[in-house]
Copies of this chain bind each other. A is one copy, B any other.
Amino acid sequence: MKQEIIGDIAHLAHVEMLTPKLEESTHFFTDIMGMSVSDTNGDSVYLRAYDDYEHHTLKLTASKQPGMRHFAWRAKSEQALQRRVAAIKKTNFAIGWNEGDLGHGPSFQYTSPDGHLTEIYFETQKYKSGINDTSALKNTASKFPARGINVRRIDHLNLFAKDVRAFRNFQLENLGGMLTETIVDNLTDQNPKAVWFAVNSKSYDLAVTEDHTGMTGRFHHVTYATNSREEVLIAADICLENGIYIETGPHKHTIQQTFFLYVYEPGGNRVEIANTTARLIVDPDYETVVWTQEERKKGQAWGLPTVPAFHTRGTPMAE
């Protein structure tokens, strides 16, 4: 019998984004994206989308350079957390336990093979809406904002890494989940240029692309989901009207089929607004879809050439 897939991670929990323009970035995520501030602490602002169920999915922290300080996974249970920690401890990447942060309990820290600081935790503080933001539908975490892009929830994270193969192996062996899609130079080359990992029924929660700059631990983008593709189109208008730089889109990715819009938030980090229609991967032994560089030259699904910056521009930026 084939070994069972490790299913201990529930979902991508949050991203701590660094910004040299904390105020402008906060304005972008609240007024343009439609998210809400759930807390502030020192140089950090904690935010969530209206149907994010935890205290926050985004922590903005003031910094000289844009980038990502850390990101976090939530485990499926206390037991699942212990199993993942035990596995990570056997690698060279374990850091150790800390007492948590606003909104969640103790977390175990480690780095990715490329140096991205990562946490895993189970104990969390579910968001409790108040008089002003309780939804009329009690199966919604908080009221629909009716402001800006109205993103619903965090969707996925995309990182750069020098050695994608090492990242892939570390992730699948220690965190689990599935490799749903991958790019290779050619079909005999097993050295991936990019990988997409899923830990639940979404087709991916984390993507990693090869970094050619010689830098490490870089951030590519974080994605928030809208309820429809129509709202991604409206998002493009909202960004246009408000001076938010649109890098590319709206268009449909060939890989993963996501309907995307990429913009730069005022601090310089790339943010994606996306909708994946009704696509889910529920097949428990899904066979990884392998793309060659040759196939990628066709551009995005409907023919849009991939913008060059997409392959090189991460935060912090190369000089």
Q: Measuring CB to CB, which residues of chain A are less than 8 angstroms from any residue of chain B?
A: 1-2, 4-5, 7, 10-11, 31-32, 51, 53, 74-80, 126, 135-140, 143-144, 146-150, 152-153, 155, 181, 200-203, 225-231, 233-234, 236-242, 246, 248-252, 254-257, 259, 261, 275-280, 282-287, 289, 301-304
Is A279 touching B1 in the complex (CB atoms < 8 A)? no
Q: How many copies does the complex hold?
A: 4
- Taking the closest CB of chain B, its distance from the CB of A231, in whole angstroms, is 7
Is A76 touching B259 in the complex (CB atoms < 8 A)? no
Of B181, B248, B284, the residue contacting A10 (CB under 8 A) is B284
| CB nearest to A201 among chain B residues | B201
- Taking the closest CB of chain B, its distance from the CB of A212, in whole angstroms, is 24
- Taking the closest CB of chain B, its distance from the CB of A131, in whole angstroms, is 12
Is B147 touching A77 in the complex (CB atoms < 8 A)? no
Is A231 touching B230 in the complex (CB atoms < 8 A)? yes
Is A228 touching B277 in the complex (CB atoms < 8 A)? yes
Of B227, B241, B251, the residue contacting A278 (CB under 8 A) is B227
Is A144 touching B238 in the complex (CB atoms < 8 A)? yes
- Taking the closest CB of chain B, its distance from the CB of A279, in whole angstroms, is 7
List chain B residues, Cβ under 8 A from A138: 289
List chain B residues, Cβ under 8 A from A257: 137, 139-140
List chain B residues, Cβ under 8 A from A287: 126
- Taking the closest CB of chain B, its distance from the CB of A235, in whole angstroms, is 9
A-B contact pairs, 26 of them (CB 8 A): A2-B78, A4-B77, A4-B80, A5-B76, A7-B76, A10-B284, A11-B282, A74-B284, A77-B284, A139-B203, A139-B289, A144-B238, A150-B234, A152-B277, A153-B278, A200-B201, A201-B202, A202-B280, A226-B278, A228-B230, A231-B234, A233-B259, A237-B252, A237-B302, A248-B303, A250-B250
Q: Cα distance A144–B74 when bound, in Å?
A: 35
List chain B residues, Cβ under 8 A from A201: 200-202, 280
